[in-house]
Structure 1
Amino acid sequence: MTTVQTAATGRKFPKFDLARLLGTVFEPTFGRRVCILIDLPDLAEAKGMAFLNNPERKVQRKAHEAFYQGLHGGVMEELALKGGEIFAYEKTGGSNLDLPDRCVDMEGNELSLEKDVYSKYDLVLCISTFSATAPLTAFAKQYGFRGATLHGLNDVILSTGLAVDYNDVSRDAEKLRASMTKADWVEIDFTVEGHEEMTVRLELNRQEAQKSHGLCQGDAPDVANLPAGEVYFVPTGAEGQFPLKYEDGTLGRLTVTGGRIIKAELIEGKQETIDEHNRKLQDDPMTGVLGELGFGTQVLPVSGADIQDEKVLGTCHLATGRDDHLGGHITPDQFKRRQNATHDDILFAPHKTPNFDIKQARMHRDGKTTVLIEHFQPAEYLRKALES
């Protein structure tokens, strides 16, 4: 088997093999109808696959190169799949916002996702700019298909996070899930250069931990988020403070009470960025609800896309907004405005947040407090769980 070694991890990865990936994730595949969904800001770019000539459509072009051409280059025959078409829908503008029903095929014909895709295909591969896991999971349960969401696809993800054996990923995720399940709470201490420490406590109420492990086998409706490799909880409450690095580089201190971010304060950067966040929190308080606590389980290089980078062992992340796709109760209809009903990950990782550190993340379970992460490295407890 051909392997690729990355300098960042020292780990050797097998060469990306679409047949192996789809065959492992979706076993069985015989006779299943498969299609690819992409998003475009202008659906006119779908006709004749005009988006292939636009250098700004990096994700969509990668979907065509690695998945569409791969399927039609022998993978369909190898896995006994049918179909293989591409459909495009209009870009939503936010993570996990509801998908529009209108779509087009590559000849520009206008179609319906519900009538022409969800109800007619068994395997749906959504390769998009923004994550579609939450809405696609709801449609999978309604129409009975299986699928995978692969937003932000790039070359690093293809050669590492999608090149691994997902049976191995699933086993490691289960080892770590079992080591954290039914925890009472998790506390995370943050240190920010030149500033005071902050601590946030997530109440977990002894819930069963869940895993994103990449396997979507059998015929039960389900959607895998790829690359996978994560243990996650839906917090039942949260208190404290944590730092947030905004897209423009501004660093803020977020105060959490009752499981919800109630205010942001400036640490460094632009006050206007903080003011805008506070306006949104006041206008639509549901945008501040913490709907997820997640821990990465894989040894992977940084890809520059959170879809992979949040799966790296030693990192953790919180998420605000809807969590119905994770087994939570926060649904789009609870938000003041539907366009606010996103699920937005807040990733804590060295490359993403170089000016602050996770001093320690610890879990309380069965009357004992155990360290999980220190300085973005898995503590002994997690390392031993993986070795078991």
Structure 2
Amino acid sequence: MISKLTDDIIFNPEKRNFPTFSLQRLLGQVFEPTEGCSVCILIDLEDMSLIKDFGFAKAEGHEVQKNAYKHFYLGLREGVMDALGMKGGEMFAYKPTYGSNLDLQDECWDTEGKQLSLDKDVYPNYDIILCISTWSATAPLTAKCKEFGFRGATLHGLNDVILNSGLAVDYNEVSADAEKIRLAMNKADSIEIDFTLEDGRVLTAWLGLDGQEAQKSHGLCKGTQPDVANLPAGEIYYVPTDARGQFPMKYEDGTLGVLDVENRNIIRSTLIEGNQATIDEHNQRLKDDPMTGTLGELGFGTQVLPVSGQDIQDEKVLGTCHLATGRDDHLGGDIVPTMFKKHENSTHDDILFAPHKTPNFDISEVRMNRGDLQEIIIQHFKPSDFVLRAARV
């Protein structure tokens, strides 16, 4: 699809016209074949009484869960399951994890209010599991799919923008675009990222990749092999083997800091502007459990999508990149939950660099080193000519 888009639309994705969201098209493309597959939906809820008779659908808030009910649960039962030859369609709720990619508790509840077990009553009994939640569950469900043999998709933070753009696209085209860019960036030795701050300072982060195979999150779980797609999809990523240098960090409260990295680990944060207490809290966390500062992912978006306000889609936008700290076992990495001091620390937390997310600094340039060659990948949050040529082959 990128090959069919003008540069104006690529650099201004809000101008792109998307087809109407179709659950049948999405599930048919992502999970082919679907004939004979049993499917269910997982959501997270703080108040488990609200799963009974879909009480959350009438309660205040719960926008993600309401989207799961309206567009997926009802969609499955109003013709999509029949059209795709699927069965089941049940919904279950589990307790929120309150952290990205933390393991799920085993207890869950059905829509009659009955308490069940994910391990005993859900994972073994469904071929396809759709997890539409507040917090990402990609890592724990990737581990569970290998144990129980199901396929699935995680769609955390689901909102109307995502439904009408990132989930409305043709996923065969998403996969093809991601593969073209993956091949262009495959077997990189290292990546260098220059960040220009408002005061003119330039910070550089270097990430060692050791010529590894680039991987792709492309949204397809075709066939019968256990796998979990993260939707919306559309990125290529690496598991860093080393990292050093500096990069800026914008915290949730708006505080800006500079992070120093040595031997793949964030070792300290220094205040640029904002709340010193936020910086102190992060430094204490790094001191208490150094694994929380280990870099476990470097990713690049490969799709032309509008900003949704949710990182799950916004990190897939062409011209953005992201780092992640914490567990990376679901990406083929070596950082597993047992390596953290306590369970609640074993998250996988994305740090997205994008104009809407980090307007206080610019990604002035991203460079890929491979053998004796160096290629520019991103300049000022825009894909380089090298990337666009690859995408248009």
Short-chain TM bin:
over 0.9
C-alpha distance in 2, partners of 1:324/1:280? 21
C-alpha distance in 2, partners of 1:292/1:76? 36
Give the alignment partner of residue 62 of structure 1, picking from 57, 61, 67: 67
Aligned to 1:128: 133
Q: What is the CA distance between 1:106 and its match in structure 2?
A: 0.7
Letter in 2 for 1:121: Y
Aligned to 1:341: 346
Aligned to 1:311: 316
Is structure 2 residue 38 aligned with structure 1 residue 33? Answer: yes
Aligned to 1:231: 236
Mapping for residues 149-160 of structure 1, pairs under 5 Å: 149-160=154-165
Helix, strand or coil at the partner of 1:13: coil
Give the alignment partner of residue 244 of structure 1, picking from 249, 253, 265: 249
Letter in 1 for 2:99: G
TM-score norm. by structure 2 comes to: 0.97
Aligned to 1:294: 299
C-alpha distance in 1, partners of 2:274/2:102? 29
C-alpha distance in 2, partners of 1:224/1:92? 19
Give the alignment partner of residue 216 of structure 1, picking from 194, 216, 221: 221
C-alpha distance in 1, partners of 2:208/2:255? 28
C-alpha distance in 1, partners of 2:255/2:59? 32
Aligned to 1:164: 169
The Cα offsets for residues 263-299 of structure 1, whole Å up to 9 and x where unpaired, read as 0000000000000000000000000000000000000
Helix, strand or coil at the partner of 2:136: coil
- Percent of residue pairs bearing the same amino acid type: 65
Give the alignment partner of residue 141 of structure 1, picking from 146, 170, 184: 146
C-alpha distance in 2, partners of 1:276/1:54? 35
Is structure 2 residue 244 aligned with structure 1 residue 277? Answer: no
The Cα offsets for residues 157-192 of structure 1, whole Å up to 9 and x where unpaired, read as 000000000000000000000001100000000011
C-alpha distance in 2, partners of 1:40/1:226? 20
Letter in 2 for 1:97: L
Contact 2:13 2:304 in 1 (8 A): no
C-alpha distance in 1, partners of 2:14/2:389? 19
Is structure 2 residue 385 aligned with structure 1 residue 380? Answer: yes
TM-score norm. by structure 1 comes to: 0.98
Q: What is the CA distance between 1:12 and its match in structure 2?
A: 1.5
Aligned to 1:75: 80
Q: What is the CA distance between 1:8 and its match in structure 2?
A: 4.8
Aligned to 2:56: 51
Give every structure 1 segment of 4 or more consecutive aligned residues whose post-TM-superposition deviation is greater than 3 Å: 5-8
The Cα offsets for residues 85-133 of structure 1, whole Å up to 9 and x where unpaired, read as 0000000000000011000001110000011110000000000000000
Aligned to 1:200: 205
Q: Bigger CA drift: 363-372 or 217-226?
A: 363-372
The Cα offsets for residues 176-220 of structure 1, whole Å up to 9 and x where unpaired, read as 000011000000000110151100000000000000000000000
Letter in 2 for 1:66: H
C-alpha distance in 2, partners of 1:172/1:366? 25
C-alpha distance in 1, partners of 2:208/2:243? 6
Could you tell me which runs of 5 or more consecutive residues in structure 1 were left unpaired when the two chains were aligned: none
Letter in 1 for 2:98: G
Is structure 2 residue 9 aligned with structure 1 residue 13? Answer: no
C-alpha distance in 1, partners of 2:110/2:370? 51
Q: What is the CA distance between 1:42 and its match in structure 2?
A: 1.8
Letter in 2 for 1:310: E
Query: Aligned residues, how many?
Result: 384
Letter in 2 for 1:179: A
Helix, strand or coil at the partner of 2:299: strand
Aligned to 2:6: none
C-alpha distance in 1, partners of 2:374/2:82? 52
Aligned to 2:268: 263
Aligned to 2:331: 326
Letter in 2 for 1:43: M
C-alpha distance in 2, partners of 1:92/1:43? 14
Letter in 2 for 1:101: D
Aligned to 2:114: 109
C-alpha distance in 1, partners of 2:365/2:130? 37
Letter in 2 for 1:355: N
C-alpha distance in 1, partners of 2:113/2:14? 43
C-alpha distance in 2, partners of 1:320/1:347? 11
C-alpha distance in 2, partners of 1:28/1:382? 32
Helix, strand or coil at the partner of 2:66: helix
Helix, strand or coil at the partner of 1:92: coil
C-alpha distance in 1, partners of 2:58/2:262? 49
C-alpha distance in 1, partners of 2:48/2:153? 22
C-alpha distance in 1, partners of 2:53/2:13? 39
Aligned to 2:5: none
Aligned to 2:4: none
Letter in 2 for 1:44: S
Q: Bigger CA drift: 183-192 or 41-50?
A: 41-50
